[in-house]
A = this chain, B = another copy of it.
Amino acid sequence: MARLAGVSQATVSLVLSPKPDGKGRIISEETRQRVLEAARSLGYVPDPAARRLAAARNNLLGVFSFTATFPTDVQHSYYPFLVGVEREAAALGYDLVLFTGSSTGGAGATGPDALSRVRLADGCLFIGRHTPRAELKRLVEDGFPVVHLGRREELEGVAWVGADYVEATREVVGHLAELGHRRIVLVREDDDAPASTDRQRGFLEGLVATGLPSGPTAVFRSADPQRELSPERLRAWVDEGVTAFVAEETDTGAAWRSLLSAVREAGLDCPGEVSLALLGSPPADLASEPEPTGFDIPRPQLGAAAVRLLAALVAGEEAREPLVSCVFRPGPTTAPPRARP
């Protein structure tokens, strides 16, 4: 105890825990220094558990992912988010605790108390798709600050931050319209994840906003794009006057991939005969090719925004973090449509 070293007692607490009230310092500068000095020489650090137990705060923010946070397959990792999470947490004065256990089941992956350990922190960030709803809800109901990284509107009351796919997609459509394209087709998979429906909404809104006919624009759906998006179908669209295609980004990149191969097989030149855009980033194995027109998801910023929101909740604020904007990425796959005979 620094108490013995110095001369005081739980005065230590007062000097070591700056009240957020700002002017809460009712400690004489002298004792303050004495305590600080003693703490330093003893290498004393307040126990986070005790601190939290005493109904105070730890300065610890949790990160919990439902799969391993560091999967062996680097492609699928949350790394880009973590970059922002770490930076923002540091900037805000929080340390990060990475709750393990979901990864291997070692320390209790399942069970009703799988999530209970996160209560050690002041609040917790959740990343990943397979969220145990009940547990999360329980946490929220208990007033524990929780933020989900990625849109999660079905989980009532769970705060989240996400990327603004609607606006970003609108922007891509706007770009095409500006180039002179009048008929555009959206290629998407048959899936109703928010990430997917958001893009479709943005696509339609984009058409409306630029005064393009939304009627004739086809929305392509398929669980098996390989088979459905045939070169013939593509060619038919082009013959009907379609000059641009936009594909959504998915885990597998299937939509984009099948679009590319259909274009190739149909012998169409890009961007000569058709313009192509990708609503997101290309899959890793296509990363070496020049990046197509589209937008980038600012993952580090998303991570940072999530931390900011979480910190606000921890501080008892009612803060609401808006959607994070994606950034438009110009590319060589779009150009003005060729004049038609």
Binding site for B on A (CB under 8 A): 40, 43-50, 52-53, 58-60, 68-72, 74, 77, 79, 82-83, 85-87, 89-108, 112-113, 116-120, 138-139, 142, 144, 300
| Min CB gap A91→B, angstroms | 4
Is A100 a contact partner of B90 (Cβ separation < 8 A)?
Answer: yes
How distant is the Cα of A300 from the Cα of B73 in the complex, in angstroms?
A: 12
Tell me which of B48, B87, B113 contacts A46 (CB under 8 A). B113
Please, which residues of chain B bring their CB within 8 A of the CB of A107?
Answer: 59, 90-95
How distant is the Cα of A244 from the Cα of B238 in the complex, in angstroms?
A: 59
A92 nearest CB neighbor, chain B only = B106
How distant is the Cα of A118 from the Cα of B91 in the complex, in angstroms?
A: 17
Please, which residues of chain B bring their CB within 8 A of the CB of A108?
Answer: 93
Please, which residues of chain B bring their CB within 8 A of the CB of A93?
Answer: 101, 105-108
Q: A71-B83, A97-B98, A300-B72 are in contact. Are A89 and B116 (CB under 8 A)?
A: no
How distant is the Cα of A30 from the Cα of B101 in the complex, in angstroms?
A: 30
| Min CB gap A222→B, angstroms | 32
Please, which residues of chain B bring their CB within 8 A of the CB of A119?
Answer: 43-45, 47-49
A109 nearest CB neighbor, chain B only = B90
